[in-house]
Chain A
Amino acid sequence: DSGVTQTPKHLITATGQRVTLRCSPRSGDLSVYWYQQSLDQGLQFLIQYYNGEERAKGNILERFSAQQFPDLHSELNLSSLELGDSALYFCASSGNRGHTIYFGEGSWLTVV
């Protein structure tokens, strides 16, 4: 158990819909990262937050957005969903001085 909690574990939704994925980082970790893993694209970095502020942005689509709340949990919002958004979405966290990133179990999103 990495200590990173993600909900929901599985989600099936229709094209055009909007979903929210939730993440609680390890206790004390200030940084939260979101990654997308699809069959053909491998593991893609989406976005990083540090103590509530956006720190780095990767290959995140404009239809996607994220935020980190004062209690440090984070949410990834995916809107106008397309079939190609079907993937495993990982949340990960790291500490203030640590360079190791620990992953949650992921949220499986299936868009039908």
Chain B
Amino acid sequence: AQTVTQSQPEMSVQEAETVTLSCTYDTSESDYYLFWYKQPPSRQMILVIRQEAYKQQNATENRFSVNFQKAAKSFSLKISDSQLGDAAMYFCAYRSAITALIFGKGTTLSVSS
């Protein structure tokens, strides 16, 4: 069965600095999709970024980028120029054509000024 592991329950960063959140996954499938979702205190689930496994190029969305290492089954999220509004719980998630979204346990990111 597919699993998603986020080994960092909590992370902290200062405003304007860069932080990287880690995620590893386990699957025997070759075609799948990976996502990072942000959940602020409002508890809304907000899509941050997505990566298709067949694409070698790492996805980027403004200050958010990923480091996708398919062979290592690693999918980390880098947040550059951190802002107070980035403080939230971040979830790594996996899905394929035959599975719904499978989530990791989440990483709580705090941002200090």
Interface residues of A (CB under 8 A from B): 33, 35, 37, 42-43, 45, 48, 56, 58, 88, 90, 92, 99-103, 105-106
Separation in Å of the A85 CB from the closest CB of chain B? 17
**What are 26 contact pairs spanning A and B, CB under 8 A?**
A33-B101, A37-B43, A42-B103, A42-B104, A42-B105, A42-B106, A43-B103, A45-B100, A45-B101, A48-B100, A56-B99, A99-B50, A99-B52, A99-B95, A100-B33, A100-B47, A101-B95, A101-B101, A102-B47, A103-B37, A103-B45, A105-B42, A105-B43, A106-B43, A106-B44, A106-B45
Given contacts A42-B106, A99-B33, A99-B95, contact A88 B43 (CB under 8 A): yes
Interface residues of B (CB under 8 A from A): 33, 35, 37, 42-47, 50, 52, 91, 95, 99-106
A44 and chain B: residue at smallest CB distance: B103
Specify the main secondary structure of chain A where it touches its partner: strand
A42 to B92: give the CA distance in the assembly, Å. 12
The listed residue (B44, B99, B100, B106) touching A103 by CB distance below 8 A is: B44
Separation in Å of the A75 CB from the closest CB of chain B? 18
Q: Cβ of B44 and Cβ of A105 under 8 Å apart?
A: yes
Task: Tell me which residues across on chain B come within 8 A of A88, comparing CB atoms.
Answer: 43
A56 and chain B: residue at smallest CB distance: B100
Q: Which 10 residue pairs are nearest across A and B when measured between Cβ atoms?
A: A103-B45, A43-B103, A99-B33, A45-B100, A42-B105, A105-B44, A48-B100, A101-B101, A33-B100, A56-B100
